[in-house]
Amino acid sequence: MKKDDVVMVIAGKEKGKSGRILKLLPKKNRVIVEKVNMIKRHTKPTRQMPQGGILEKEGSIHVSNVMIICHRCNVPVRIGKRIMEDGSKVRVCRKCGEVLDK
């Protein structure tokens, strides 16, 4: 998976929701997906935020609980790898064969 991929959550309390990957956490095998798994963070007043208060932000989700959505199929799919004529490796959809890399 890469940043800015569109994914769908396939397991857990957020099952069925989809969004764009904002951040990858490879050491923990987790991803942060836009507007999915929202958590509340209680913050003390600081110089940048003199009010303090409760912030809502995205929590991380395990990589195994999300699947990439194919642009052409518009469904969650598994991905494969293909070597192009120029020698570059690209990710492809296992259902329709569409190239997922830009």
Question: What is the pTM for the complete model shown?
Answer: 0.87
CB 81 within 8 A of CB 89: yes
Q: Can you give the pLDDT at residue 32?
A: 98
Kindly report the backbone phi and psi dihedral angles of residue 4, in degrees, each rounded to the nearest multiple of 5, phi listed first. Answer: 75, 5
Top-level class of domain 6-69: mainly beta
Q: Can you give the pLDDT at residue 102?
A: 73
Mean pLDDT by groups of 10 residues along the chain of 102 residues: 96 96 98 97 94 95 97 94 95 94 80
CB 15 within 8 A of CB 29: no
- Listed by start position, the domains of the chain span 6-69, 78-102
